[in-house]
Structure 1
Amino acid sequence: MLVIEAKRAQYSLTVAIPQALAYMLADTNTEKPVFGFVTNGNEFRFIKLIKGVIPQYALSDLFALDSRDDLYTVIKILKRLADLIRNS
């Protein structure tokens, strides 16, 4: 499962992360990790949630459109996540 949460450019991604995590926690499959992606159109961050007795999540580095190769990296990660979801 992949959750995507988008906010307006003037918002910090920090505002979107709790909302994305709430959607991610709603997934009933506890055996596989849940992936999330938050964006405000300029910045991008990925989230990985592992459910268990105590759910744990990790955030990726922050990617931004104005950074040299960040958009390429974001697209590459999204393609990889699509492959994981398709093959699961």
Structure 2
Amino acid sequence: MVTVIESKQLSFSTDEALAQLLRYMLADSNPENPTFGMISTGANFSFVKLVRGETPQYARSAEFVISNPGNELYRVLQILKRLSQLPD
């Protein structure tokens, strides 16, 4: 399962959405498989992976900013492509 939280507000921080995203991810009805999430402002992207067990654990990617030199949009698209290939 992939969960996405997006905001178009320029003042929005992806850090502010992490708790909400994790709540949504913990509600996934398939706890055997990892759940993936993405937080985006439209310009900034951050990815989260949640693995549940006795103690749920999550990992968060670095924040990708599309306006940075080095074309971070390409990296974001690579991650999205990989997520789309995950089994249901």
Query: What TM-score comes out, normalization by structure 2 length?
Result: 0.92
- CA separation in 2, counterparts of 1:61 and 1:12? 13
The code of the aligned residue for 2:6 comes to A
- CA separation in 2, counterparts of 1:60 and 1:9? 20
Cα displacement (A) at 1:70: 0.7
Structure 2 residues not aligned, in runs of 5+: none
- SS of the residue 1:14 aligns to: helix
- Deviations 1:26-68 (Å, cap 9, x if unpaired)? 0021111000000111110000000011100000011001122
- Give 4+ residue runs of structure 1 displaced > 6 Å after superposition: none
Match of 2:36 in 1: 35
The code of the aligned residue for 2:19 comes to P
State the identity %. 42
Cα displacement (A) at 1:9: 2.2
- CA separation in 1, counterparts of 2:83 and 2:5? 16
Query: What TM-score comes out, normalization by structure 1 length?
Result: 0.92
Structure 1 residues not aligned, in runs of 5+: none
The code of the aligned residue for 1:63 comes to F
- SS of the residue 2:85 aligns to: helix
Say if 2:33 is the partner of 1:47.
no
1:71 to 52, 70, 73: 73
Question: Quick check: which one's helix share is greater?
Answer: 1
Say if 2:14 is the partner of 1:22.
no
- CA separation in 2, counterparts of 1:16 and 1:41? 14
